[in-house]
Amino acid sequence: MSLTLAKPPIINPAGDTPTDEEVVARVLAGYVASFEILMRRHNQRLYRIGRAILRNDAEAEDLMQDAYVRAYEHLGQFAGRAKFSTWLSRIAVNEALARKRRAKNFEELEPSMNTKDENGYKPERFASTAPNPEQQASSSEMQRLLESAIEDLPDDYRTILILRDVQEMDTDEAAIALDISEQNVKVRLHRARALLRKKMYIRAGAHRKEAFPFHAIRCDRVVKAVFQRISQLERSGSSSPA
């Protein structure tokens, strides 16, 4: 499929915001530039999914690019049985879990990471805790406390809490994204909420929708990187959605 930058045909004559499915139709019709609409629409969601599973900002951003490129390559397989956002979320979850497995395997193959130095200290793999400008500009101390509390949750509970309470996915959508039953979603969510300190959770209730924000500059960076990768695929002749 050639990269078409011309103005796409009007699918929604009423002038309303096009649905995801309408945008997908535009992309499949050859108007690849319309893919940017989908990326900007779902960047926050995919970032939160990646951040919940991988617990690393840079990894989450890199994951987003992989997920978008994979979604673009397989866009023709989107059958509309579930919402596009659910289909895209499932791709992101699978990519994040695969990255997590690879990282675990790498750590197991690197014995030096499991040994202590001459002073008895064991090196660890932790991302820098120094706040970046985006974090410094983040809203309030309450928001930071809430994010810290969520970070401390076990993986399964942290992920379900972010999908349901922060990203506000429906129960069925979260179940599809994580490939678990709706009952399992409800159980995990109940336990996740119970693990958070009740007093903090109540006080921070008004702020939780703003937790783990994906700022505009990062949004632009992801969109640009994905289109660069799509252009490379176009040149190689292997980019048509399957």
Banded model confidence at residue 201, pLDDT cuts 50, 70, 90: low
Write down the mean pLDDT value for the chain: 79
SS3 173: helix
Judged against a pLDDT cut of 70, whether residue 218 lies above it is answered with yes
Residues in the chain: 242
**Token pair of 90 as six digits:** 């499932």
Q: Which two tokens stand for residue 186?
A: 């409800």
Residue identified by tokens 């336990």 is 191
- Model pLDDT for residues 154-194, shown as the tens digit of each residue: 999 999 999 999 899 999 999 999 999 999 999 999 999 88
In a domain, 182, yes or no: yes
Residue with tokens 């709706």: 182
Q: What is the DSSP letter of 120?
A: S
Asked if residue 203 belongs to a domain, the reply is yes
pTM of the model: 0.69
Q: What tokens appear for 15 in the block?
A: 């002038």
Closest CA to 1 of 236, 242, 234: 234
The answer as to whether 151 is a domain residue is: yes
Residues in contact with 206: Cβ distance below 8 Å, sequence separation at least 6, in sequence order: none
Q: What is the pLDDT of residue 152?
A: 85
Domain enclosing residue 57, as ranges = 20-109+139-236
With a cut of 50, say whether residue 35 has pLDDT above it. Answer: yes
In the 8-state DSSP scheme, what is residue 165? I
Number of structural domains (the chain) is 1
The answer to whether residue 86 is domain-embedded is: yes
Report yes or no on 96 lying in a domain.
yes
**Count of Cβ atoms closer than 10 Å to residue 212 Cβ:** 22
How far is it, in rounded angstroms, from Cα 59 to Cα 51? Answer: 8
Find the distance separating the first CA and the last CA of the chain, reported in whole Å.
11
Q: Provide the token pair at 153.
A: 């949750």
Q: Which of 152, 130, 135 is nearest to 218 (CA)?
A: 135
Work out the average pLDDT over 15-39. Answer: 92
Residue 6 lies in a domain: no
CATH number reported for the structural domain that contains residue 148 in this entry:
1.10.1740.10
Average pLDDT over residues 8-23: 70
* Position 213 in a domain: yes
Instruction: Tally Cβ neighbours within 10 Å of residue 225.
Output: 16
151 versus 140: which is more confidently predicted?
Answer: 151
Q: Is the pLDDT of residue 1 over 50?
A: no
Please name the residues in contact with 165: beta carbons below 8 A apart, sequence gap of 6 or more.
Answer: 189, 193, 208
Render pLDDT for 53-72 as a digit per residue (tens, 0 to 9): 999 999 999 999 999 999 99
Residue 44 lies in a domain: yes
